[in-house]
Structure 1
Amino acid sequence: MNHTAILLPGIITPAKITYRYLLPAFGGAASVITRDLAIYDKGAPPPDYSFDMEIDAILRTADDAGLDRFHLGGFSGGGAISTAFAAQHPDRLASLVLMEPAWLGNEGQTDDEIAVRDAIRATEDLPYAQSLAAFARLNVADDVELPAPPQGDPPAWMEHRPAGIFAIGPACRNHSLDLDALRSLACPVLYMRGARSNPSMYLRIQERAAKIFPDFTIEIFEDRHHFDPPHRSEPERTAELLLEFWKNAEARLPA
């Protein structure tokens, strides 16, 4: 069986780089469309950027590929967008995969989450290099030693990424997530988390998600964190996990 999925990257790295190790690990057993976030479709983030733009882009991608129902997944910001899509178009999904989603609605956030989000918002006032470093530190556990930034000129695709980081925060805050729609979601949901990511963010989101989604599975990668994610560092295990999850999800679809 060849499973059909759309995978979204996070707010920083393009899709082809995000999933460059994962895609070959499927060994031809899945047809995966990797789509860059719509925030960068015209280069710089548009001033009126919203999650509705991302949701419309996913619909166009699926329709252009002739997909009536498909598996959807996303990492970090892409996971947040996938959640928003699921709430608006649950009938289009065969399953939902959330890889450390950066957001799960504004309702019911814990004090830990709010503190991290406030700290991330404060990084917008820092100089460029300091802002990125502070943003990275807030996404991992305290004992994680992050590598030094790469030397030399940044790749061309990095030009608009800082602006993207600053634009996705307001998009999250301004989007109204329909939690009732998620509570009645018929398809299964898989939540993937690195044990070394910031627990005040990703563990708390996991705990909230477990109370929302009726069919919810958690997979923990003990040695991974937000900047050393499973799809990059453990692609074979990740591919095997996804293929099995997609297979089981499809077995439940109506004939």
Structure 2
Amino acid sequence: MEPTRAMLLPGSVLPAELAYAALIEALGPDVEAVAKDLELYGDDKPPADWSLDTEVEGVVREADARGWSTFHLLGYSGGGAVALAFAARHPERLQSLALLEPAWAGRWDWSPAHAQVWKDHDSLEALPPDEFMKAFMRLAVRPDVVLPPPPASVPPPWMAQRPAGIRAFLRTFKSYELDRGMLASFDLPVFFALGARSNPDDYGEIASRLSTVFPDFRLEVFEERHHFDPPHRIEPERLAGLLRNHWERAARRGP
């Protein structure tokens, strides 16, 4: 019997190893879980031609290098948007899909409230990096959520890349064509983790919309979580159990 193989894609802030260390430990040794960093941060600044397809191609290379013909794919935030793009481009490579508050889910006919979220993101473009990050984080959560202040220690070197990387994501979201028809034909299990304290006009609407697109969609709400204290870091044991069930259900369906 082949081991459970899962690739984990991080968001646009934490490196993959930091983001998923607790979850990988909770999953245990019977899961071959690979935390893959984004191609976006391979150099000091984002490549001029970077898009979600750059990340999709990186996932293909990583899987091929490991000899994985098929695998489970999980993505959080920006990595969730990559996971959606991958499912639309290469559904034959997947055994299941897990989405942890994907940052974007296509340029469709969203509600006025969701459209306003993206107008608010546009207004961040001219801000200096420190103000940009604060405003970016505020948009992701409910108004009553108190976000922690920046750490007093010197930021790690990788943090300097993040404002430009987030801006690159926001730019590609404006032009990338996510094939809704391909997502609708993706009939493998899709799991979505949603924090109840995240911005409902953003991630809540994405969850609601995708529930009408994917034929086999399951939503799990984490009542105390929001986008910047996500379950893979704060409640890894609970999430690991849900993922194991999700993957076992996919295995029972067979190829």
Matched, 1:251 2:252: yes
1:67 paired with 2:94, answer no
Give the residue type in structure 1 aligned to 2:192: Y
CA shift, 1:5, in A, is 0.5
Please report how far the alpha carbon of residue 20 of structure 1 lies from its aligned counterpart in structure 2 after TM superposition: 1.5
Q: Does 1:132 align with 2:156?
A: no
Normalising by structure 2, report the TM-score: 0.97
What is the Cα deviation at residue 194 of structure 1?
0.4
Q: What corresponds to 2:19 in structure 1?
A: 18
CA distance in 2, matches of 1:207, 1:136: 22
In structure 2, the partner of 1:123 is 124
Kindly state the Cα deviation for residue 124 of structure 1 after the two structures are TM-superposed. Answer: 1.8
Where does 1:174-193 land on structure 2 (aligned, <5 Å)?
174-193=175-194
Instruction: Quote how far apart the aligned CAs of 1:114 are.
Output: 1.3
Query: Which residue identity is paired with 1:118?
Result: K
Deviations 1:169-199 (A, max 9, x none): 1111111011001101021100100000000
Residue-pair matches, total: 254
| Whole-angstrom CA distance in 1 between matches of 2:241 and 2:51 | 33
Q: TM-score, normalised by structure 1?
A: 0.97
Tell me the equivalent position of 1:5.
6
The reply on whether 1:78 has 2:73 as its aligned counterpart is no
Letter in 2 for 1:83: L
1:236 maps onto 2:237 in alignment: yes
Alpha-carbon displacement from aligned partner over 1:51-75 (angstroms, at most 9, x marks no partner): 1111100000110111111000100
Contact 1:3/1:243 (8 A) holds in 2: no
Q: Residue type of the partner of 1:134?
A: A
- The aligned residue for residue 160 of structure 2 is 159
Q: Which moved more, 1:103-112 or 1:162-171?
A: 103-112
- Per-residue deviation, 1:44: 1.2
Query: Hey, what's the Cα distance between the residues in 1 that align with 2:160 and 2:224?
Result: 31
Residue 105 (1) aligns with residue 103 (2):
no
Equivalent position of 1:221 in the other structure: 222
Q: Write the letter of the residue equivalent to 1:146.
A: L
Q: Give the counterpart letter for 2:145 in structure 1.
A: V
Contact 1:8/1:36 (<8 A) preserved? yes
Q: Which moved more, 1:147-156 or 1:190-199?
A: 147-156
Structure 2 runs not aligned, ≥5 long: none
- Distance (Å, rounded) in 1 between the aligned partners of 2:109 and 2:70: 30
> Which deviates more, 213-222 or 165-174?
165-174
Q: Give, in whole Å, the separation in 1 of the partners of 2:66 and 2:112.
A: 42
Q: Which amino acid aligns with 1:192?
A: A
Q: 1: distance between equivalents of 2:67 and 2:174?
A: 32
The secondary structure found in structure 2 opposite 1:125 is coil
* Cα RMSD (Å): 1.0
AA of the residue aligned to 1:204: E
Q: Separation in 1 of the partners of 2:47 and 2:92?
A: 29
Whole-Å Cα distance in 1 between the matches of residues 156 and 236 of structure 2?
24
Distance in 1, matches of 2:95 and 2:111, equals 30
The match for 1:27 is: 28
Give the letter for the 2:58 counterpart.
A
What one-letter code is carried by the residue in structure 1 that aligns with 2:108?
Answer: E
Cα offset, 1:82, TM superposition: 0.3
- The Cα shift of 1:27 comes to 1.7
Amino acid at match of 1:73: L
What secondary structure sits across from 2:212 in the alignment?
helix
